[in-house]
Structure 1
Amino acid sequence: MKKKIVVLTGAGVSAESGINTFRDADGLWEGHDVMEVASPQGFARNPELVLDFYNQRRKQLAQVEPNAAHMALAELETSHEVTIITQNVDDLHERGGSTNVIHLHGELLKARSVNNEHTVLDWKKDLNLGDLSSEGDQLRPHIVWFGEMVPLLETAANIVEQADTVIIIGTSMQVYPAAGLVNFAQPGTPIYFIDPKPSISENDFENLTIIKDTAASGVPALVARLK
């Protein structure tokens, strides 16, 4: 019988494809204070710096490939109903073959109007000052910055609530509100946590199994079991 499997993924999944995460180096992201490049205040102060920062991230994304974890999660769709809820802004889950991905923190390959968050465009090239929406407003990266609402959070919570199984991969479980999503799982729902340095213990949640492994190694092994 097909089960509803909900997968919560964080930066650890993308890191194994070669995408740097700001958690790795004292709160700096590619040498920048995250508040400079990932907050509305930073964008207001220096929009050119922020646009250039995400242009570099877009170029970096074009040079990396999905890893074994992305591929295994796509394969899981052949036997179960899989929804991926990711904190990652890259498209590696989609490129790996997953068809049902919710991006909590936005998407690097999209841009949106500074004045209308519903005007969202596909955007794979550089984004510059003077690039305007059809309404004539400056475009900005379609990224949820610090201090901004996470619009898909309620949708994600409803999906976790209906899960038969929850898998957590490559996230510290420290970044709220995303970290709170696991609390929406029904009592007794099996939860798997894959991380080489787990930040939680099996006493923290009922029915929790910790797999102390990297995403690229631990996810394919778990998928083989679940299939």
Structure 2
Amino acid sequence: MFELAIKKLKEAQKIVFVTGAGISQESGIPTFRGKDGLWRNYDAMKLATIDAFYENPKLVWEWYNERRKNIFSAKPNLGHKAIAELENFVKVVILTQNIDGLHQRAGSTKVLELHGSIIEIKCTVCKFKNKILTEFTNIPPLCKCGNILRPNVVWFGEPLPQDTWQEAMIHSSNCDIMIIVGTSLVVSPANTLPLYAKQNNAFLIELNPEETMMSSDMDLSVRSTSVIALPQLLSIFK
């Protein structure tokens, strides 16, 4: 299977990566699940909802401010850099569930942020949207229209941005290889992307230290971390 994977990689015209929290965890960014998924005795998965935001917007904003500081202090790891360097050899598209921007900081040029970006804000009522340029003195911050601003991220129970999702489905449906990195594939609808690729006879590769609920659907599952496996994958093209 490794020999077949190498052959497929060398022949590929387009590789799509689906990345999750695991690749960023290796840069020191905590994941939602497990022991790192707690913050000040709150369940992060419960904080990341629109109901939690309206119930206590100050708390949610404080949580995101802390997350943003952690993200800004993190640096792209060897996994991020390997994916970026791969663009020198083949067309690469990244469909990421991460909101940290580390793929872009590593040099990747085609990144679709399925769950939004932590460095952006939007109004809860009007269409205002912008990058966060400075820290806000008043929490929660208000829009010029007088309503509360929120992080421009997709919370649990919210739909993905439809234009981004439509583009992600198209890329998944016309790639030669899809490489799934650092995601447990339990969050919908992002976990359906490998199915679109499979329907187009794409070769599916999973890079994850642990087995996932879709491991049996993969053509190749590699039990390794991204900082180890992705530079090795890149070496195939050199």
- Is the alpha carbon distance of 1:124 and 1:36 closer, same or farther for their aligned partners in structure 2, counting shifts above 3 Å? farther
CA contact (8 A) 1:89 1:108 kept: yes
* Distance change >3 Å, CA 147–CA 200, structure 1 → 2: closer
Quote the residue 2:135 is aligned against. 126
TM-score of the superposed pair, with normalisation by structure 2: 0.86
Q: Bigger shift: 75-84 or 1-10?
A: 1-10
For 1:95, the equivalent position in structure 2 comes to 105
Cα separation, partners in 2 of 1:143 and 1:103, compared to 1, 3 Å: same
Give the 5 Å matches for 1:31-180.
Answer: 31-116=41-126, 118-127=127-136, 128-129=138-139, 131-151=141-161, 152-180=164-192
Equivalent residues of 2:97, 2:113 under 8 A apart = yes
Q: Which amino acid in 2 is paired with 1:65?
A: K
Instruction: Return the alpha-carbon distance in structure 1 between the equivalents of residues 39 and 175 of structure 2.
Output: 33
Judge conservation of contact 2:30–2:36 (CA < 8 Å) in 1: no
Change (3 A) 1:108 1:124: farther
2:226 corresponds to: 215
Deviation at 1:49, TM superposition (A): 0.2
Could you tell me how far apart the structure 1 residues matched to 2:34 and 2:178 are? 26
Alpha-carbon distance, 1:137 to partner: 3.0
Unpaired runs of 5+ in structure 1? none
Matched residue, 2:236: 225
Shift of residue 29 of structure 1? Answer: 5.1
Moved more, 128-137 or 90-99: 128-137
Structure-2 change in CA distance of 1:212 and 1:54 (3 Å)? same
The answer as to 2:214 corresponding to 1:193 is no
- 1:138 Cα deviation (Å)? 2.1
Alignment CA distance shift 1:110-1:81 (3 Å): same
* 1:17 correspondence with 2:27: yes
From the superposition, tell whether residues 36 and 2 of structure 1 become closer, same or farther in structure 2 (CA, over 3 Å): closer
When the two structures are superposed, what TM-score results if normalisation uses the length of structure 1? 0.90
Which of 19, 22, 38 is residue 28 of structure 1 equivalent to?
Answer: 38
Structure 1 residues 131-183: Cα deviation after superposition (integer angstroms, max 9, x where no partner)? 33344432110110011111132221111001111110000011111111110
Q: Separation in 2 of the partners of 1:37 and 1:3?
A: 41
Report if aligned partners of 2:31, 2:37 keep a CA contact under 8 Å in 1. Answer: no
**What runs of 5+ residues in structure 2 fail to find an aligned partner?**
1-10
Query: In the aligned structure 1, how far is the partner of 2:74 from the partner of 2:229?
Result: 20
Quick one: distance in 2 between partners of 1:202 and 1:190? 13
Amino acid at match of 2:207: I
Q: CA deviation at 1:2?
A: 6.8
